[in-house]
Amino acid sequence: MTGSRAPKTAEELRDAGLRVTAARVALLETVRAGDHLDAEAIASGVRGRVGHISLQAVYDGLHALTAAGLLRRIEPPGSPARFEGRVGDNHHHLVCRSCGAVADVDCAVGTAPCLTASDDHGFSVDEAEVIYWGLCPDCSTARSTSAP
């Protein structure tokens, strides 16, 4: 394991009840260093850190890390699943309709107000997922400059 974060990452894996492997350390560090990456981009980043790894091994590792609560998987409609290292704070996302860029956004007011549904239908709500759709600044600028 290389890098200054590797010992801390290994400890996090152990604390989550996962076996520490070079691939898992690389997966976790790649996702945390990226920005809402899909599995292909993660695989490329992991290969740059540890050499060959199959896409199936990447998916298996992402599943284990997500199930352990170390990563979060988001699935904006029309986009491949994306992964992020920001977990446990019930934040939401902005997604660009044009280029697919994704950005984090905190809850609108206070601490997780969106966990209080207008009608919970008897459910015990522990997480909410909100996706705001629009155009990122680059796509907005490109659209306004190309308009007749």
Q: Is the pLDDT of residue 112 over 80?
A: no
Closest CA to 131 of 98, 99, 96, 88: 96
* Token pair for 132: 């705001």
Continuous H helices in the chain? 6-15, 22-33, 39-50, 55-67, 137-146
CB 53 within 8 A of CB 60: no
Average pLDDT over residues 76-84: 91
Q: Is the pLDDT of residue 81 over 80?
A: yes
Q: What is the pLDDT of residue 7?
A: 81
CB 82 within 8 A of CB 75: yes
Q: Is the pLDDT of residue 111 over 50?
A: yes
CB 125 within 8 A of CB 133: no
Common-topology check for domains 6-74 and 88-146: no
What residue segments make up the domains of the chain, in order of their start? 6-74, 88-146
In which band, very low, low, confident or very high, does the pLDDT at 84 lie, cut at 50, 70 and 90?
very high
Q: What percent of the chain has pLDDT over 90?
A: 61
CATH of 6-74, one of 3.40.50.720, 1.10.10.10, 3.40.50.300, 3.90.550.10: 1.10.10.10
Architecture per CATH, 88-146: 2-Layer Sandwich (3.30)
Look at 66 and 148; give whichever has higher pLDDT. Answer: 66
Look at 14 and 91; give whichever has higher pLDDT. Answer: 14
Reading phi first (left if > 0) and then psi (alpha if -120 to 50, else beta), residue 73 is in beta
Lowest model confidence (mean pLDDT) among 75-79, 112-116, 119-123: 112-116
In which band, very low, low, confident or very high, does the pLDDT at 90 lie, cut at 50, 70 and 90?
confident
Q: What is the pLDDT of residues 26-53, one digit of tens each?
A: 999 999 999 899 999 999 999 999 999 9
DSSP one-letter code for 98: T
Q: What pTM, to 2 d.p., does this model score?
A: 0.81
Q: What is the pLDDT of residue 95?
A: 92
Closest CA to 128 of 96, 92, 93: 92
